[in-house]
Chains A and B, each alone.
Chain A
Amino acid sequence: GAVVSQHPSWVICKSGTSVKIECRSLDFQATTMFWYRQFPKQSLMLMATSNEGSKATYEQGVEKDKFLINHASLTLSTLTVTSAHPEDSSFYICSARTGGESGANVLTFGAGSRLTVL
């Protein structure tokens, strides 16, 4: 089946530095990818929708300048957390629609990236 590869799985960085997370669709093209953030024991929160060749669409309350999204090709989207702070520590997950049953457009998720900002 379709696979979404996400890297890195774990990252620890110092406050004030930037961190890039990559999300790749393997063996299929993803014109649209989604970036989620999940705090412990909380629901998935959609941060932004990444569109190949155009600007990402951010959800209300998500800072565009802080969470830079680039979708330069049909198989790669990147999320860069700029000037990271401890409150940015979270589990970041990307996903892509991979078709599915009855047009459900099931989401296939990457393995997630756990970011810890010291």
Chain B
Amino acid sequence: GENVEQHPSTLSVQEGDSAVIKCTYSDSASNYFPWYKQELGKGPQLIIDIRSNVGEKKDQRIAVTLNKTAKHFSLHITETQPEDSAVYFCAANGNKLVFGAGTILRVKS
């Protein structure tokens, strides 16, 4: 089955800097890669997703890149703000959705 590894587990950045979270997956049949953000006391919420026919997708300060050959995808957050502090989960969907272990992002002001 699918296995998703996510790094780093914790990331601290200064406000205004960029943050990058990386994930690898094992199932070459996976074709959908969402990213979820979980704020304290809340459930995860989809922030961006990418499908296997696209290499990059942007939404304002957030972007996701996908390298199907390397089975690797990344989340990029530019101009980080304190409200970006949260736990971020990547996931990959082969025959079912499998999540990474999460990255705690702390943005220091």
Answer yes or no: are A and B bound together in one complex.
no
